[in-house]
Amino acid sequence: MHWIEWFIGPQLIGVVFLLAGFIQKKYPPKKINNYYGYRMPSAMKNQETWDEANRFSTAYMIKAGMVLIVTGFLVTLLLYCIPMPQKFKAVTLFLVILAAGMGSAISMIMATEKHLSKTFDDRKYQ
């Protein structure tokens, strides 16, 4: 196994999540905008929901990034320990990377939306 193969996998998505989370933590979006931050309509209702959504989603991204890095290395190890044709390995790895990226993004949105609905009652949330 070549050393670069240890970095191409779900762990790469984890590194992206981790970096994005740390950047957003260091430079949080101050005001509601259409370019930077957690930009779902529920977060953009007012400054309070904006700040809370960005705080929560940033913490979620960092945690998800760490989980993806660890599980990515385990998945990579598993894929390369099981004998299978190289084409099948490549397709499997592509699908795992796709699932890791999409699944992490979707779970972050779902968790943040749930957090916002629990944190803000209907009067504040609108």
pLDDT at 1 over 80: no
Give the rounded percent of residues in the chain with a pLDDT score beyond 90.
65
Lowest mean pLDDT among 15-24, 54-63, 91-100: 91-100
Lowest mean pLDDT among 12-16, 27-31, 93-97: 93-97
- DSSP state for residue 89 in the 8-state scheme: H
* Inter-residue contact 36 to 29 (CB < 8 Å): yes
Q: Is 29 left (phi over 0), alpha (psi -120 to 50) or beta?
A: beta
CB atoms within 10 A of CB 75: 19
Buried b (16+ CB within 10 A) or exposed e, 46-60: eeebbbbbbbbbbbb
* Inter-residue contact 62 to 22 (CB < 8 Å): yes
Average pLDDT, whole number, for the chain? 89
How many structural domains does the chain have? Answer: 1
* Rg of the chain (C-alpha set): 18
Q: Which residue range forms the structural domain that includes residue 107?
A: 3-125
* Inter-residue contact 11 to 69 (CB < 8 Å): yes
pLDDT tens by residue, 55-92 = 999 999 999 999 999 999 898 888 888 888 988 888 88
pLDDT at 6 over 80: no
Q: Rounded CA gap, 18 and 3, in Å?
A: 21
Whole-number pLDDT of residue 75: 87
**Strand ranges (E), the chain:** none
Whole-number pLDDT of residue 5: 67
